[in-house]
Amino acid sequence: MTYKTPVRDMRFALDQMAGFSSLIRSGAYPDLSGDMVDAILGEAAKFCDGVIAPLNAPSDRTPTRLENGVVRTSPGFKEGYAHYVDGGWNSLAFPEKWGGQGLPSTLANALVDAMNGASMSFAIGTTLTTGAVKAILHAGTDWQKKTYLPNMVSGAWTGTMNLTEPQSGSDLSTLRAKAEPAGVNHDGTTRYRISGQKIFITYGDHDMTDNIIHLVLARLPDAPEGTAGISMFIVPKFHVNEDGSLGERNDAHCIKLEEKMGLHGSPTCVMVYGERGECYGTLLGEENKGLKNMFVMMNAARLDVGLQGVGVAEAAFQRALAYAQDRRQGRASGVKSGPMIPIYEHADVRRMLYSMKALVEASRGICYANAVAYDLARHAPDEKQRAKAKALEELLTPISKGWSTDRANDVASLGVQIHGGMGYIEETGAAQHMRDARIAAIYEGTNGIQAMDLVGRKLQGDAGAAIKAYIQDVREEATIAKAGKRDDLQAIGARLLEAADALAVSTNWLLDAAKADQAHVLAGATPYLRQFGNVAGGYYLARGALAAALAVREPDADKAYLESRIATARFYAENYLTEATGLTAAVTAGAAPIARLDPAALTG
């Protein structure tokens, strides 16, 4: 199987599902045109298919390694990354002032989708750099921006996010890394001596660039306890001289590479800062306000992780589809002799493939709509449009991350199942997708945390206003589809309306329950996120189906493709919108079903 970037699907999702045309019409990017978008996606496909995809399977067999204190990436990664930098891919959506191209972040997010389909191990390092750039853009001093951004925007230097410690995972209140004043930098700002250990640091060290810019969470000597006392520091692998050249090596080192279930080509480092007492950095933003900067990175990373799910699920689907057409086994129902048929002809195999396809496209629609909202929230000329887009961006972020990565795991598992016994054998490649996808539901805030965010800040923060407005948009789309002249559109509309009504019931129940006991809300958080994601996926697929039903009438229409978009939405409606309707019972069951039991009673 050879991975192929799904350019046609990506463009369809942008234009017909996620509302990218509204970004073009807004005037926020006056030089942006459909032809430019086509050119960018076309070149991205050439890069991903020709340069990155061939690295994926070999990197799984030949992981990164730590040799005498130096991290060596998998064969071809260094050369592939050089192509990435030379192509200007890292700079797509960053300000021209710092060497960027000033294009919408939505296009950079589409690239994240494509690159993760090609190789999740390779792509993950690039998203950490873009997140670090956003944090420095948000909180950096003029000197910090001038010193670090040009090379980070271009990708010549990479960036990392250093949060987790052995005793401090999702809860950062116990973070122990220290930062102590230690003189003055040549720009007049305070210099800090950094000490501590960080774990699970993606691309914390590697051999692909000359410098790595670490963003490290640490505590000042007089910092308050808990999360209120965390600051963020820029800690470069090599110090940067006044003229921009590289200076001395900083006392920041990788001492171990984690041996992971998947993503073998991605170096996940245990980092030690100040082992010799000579690690120095500068404060990024205000003292004790490090979490504010972290969430700038984290929110961007959560959408990127959702797109990791889309990409790896796409790759799993492509592999399973190719295998199902090639593998011959069994005969058609009622046929007792003759040649074996491709397993694609068996109804249950098609059911699994259609499930994979529907979940991939639903996830892509959610994440792309999230990306469009991000751009409109920052660049739409109209203030009301920006405010509405910001509310949508914040609402969709936990859905993009949580639902899309959960579904990526479902898709990758189905891919193994379609391969049968050969899916459990490493040589087919199906198992790698499953192993790689698994982490996406865990890092950048586990999906349970995403669900808690959804029912907490997102639902209760405005008394449900944003979610209720979203449900109303879904109902309006469902009503249009239900009134259509085609039976399939009517079925999509009916199922979507039922699911939207069920989501509304769950939403109102959670709002009422929150007034009495938050335990009931937290107990229903995960099924609520799943229900919301199912409805959101159905909403964007329905938008695409309605657009396809109009386009299919055109004389030069690609009728087979457009009909497949309608059929995919119909399949999703019958299988996943019906699931959404049934989830209200799980959401509204409250905390009683998960009342605490004595762990001893749970063992045989």
Active-site residue numbers? 444
Question: At residue 298, what is the residue type?
Answer: M
CA separation, residue 10 to residues 56, 109, 464, 495 (Å): 21, 11, 31, 25
Question: At residue 181, what is the residue type?
Answer: P
CA separation, residue 244 to residues 234, 326, 516 (Å): 16, 55, 58
Nearest to 201 by CA among 143, 254, 154, 269: 269
| Phi, psi for 62 (deg, rounded to 5) | -125, 85
Which tokens is 442 given? Answer: 């865990």
Grouping H, G, I as helix, E, B as strand and the rest as coil, residue 262 is coil
Cα 136 from Cα 140, distance rounded (Å)? 5
What are the residues facing 214 on neighbouring strands?
Answer: 160, 235
Q: Count how many Cα atoms sit within 13 Å of the Cα of residue 191 in the half-sphere of its side chain.
A: 13
Strands 158-162 and 231-236 come out as unpaired
Any alpha helices (H) in 140-176, and if so which ranges?
142-154
Q: Count how many Cα atoms sit within 13 Å of the Cα of residue 148 in the half-sphere of its side chain.
A: 32
What are the residues facing 196 on neighbouring strands?
Answer: 273
Beta-carbon contacts of residue 450 (< 8 Å; ≥ 6 apart): 302, 398, 399, 401, 402, 529
Checking phi first, is residue 281 left (phi over 0); if not, alpha (psi -120 to 50) or beta?
Answer: beta
For the range 176-180, what are the long-range contacts, defined as Cβ-Cβ under 8 Å and sequence gap of 24 or more?
Answer: 176/219, 177/216, 177/217, 177/218, 177/219, 177/273, 178/218, 178/219, 178/221, 179/218, 179/219, 179/220, 179/231, 179/233, 179/281, 179/283, 180/220, 180/221
Beta-carbon contacts of residue 317 (< 8 Å; ≥ 6 apart): 353, 356, 357, 360, 411, 415
Beta-carbon contacts of residue 379 (< 8 Å; ≥ 6 apart): 23, 26, 28, 29, 104
Cα 293 from Cα 288, distance rounded (Å)? 10
Q: What is the DSSP letter of 456?
A: I
Cα 332 from Cα 340, distance rounded (Å)? 8
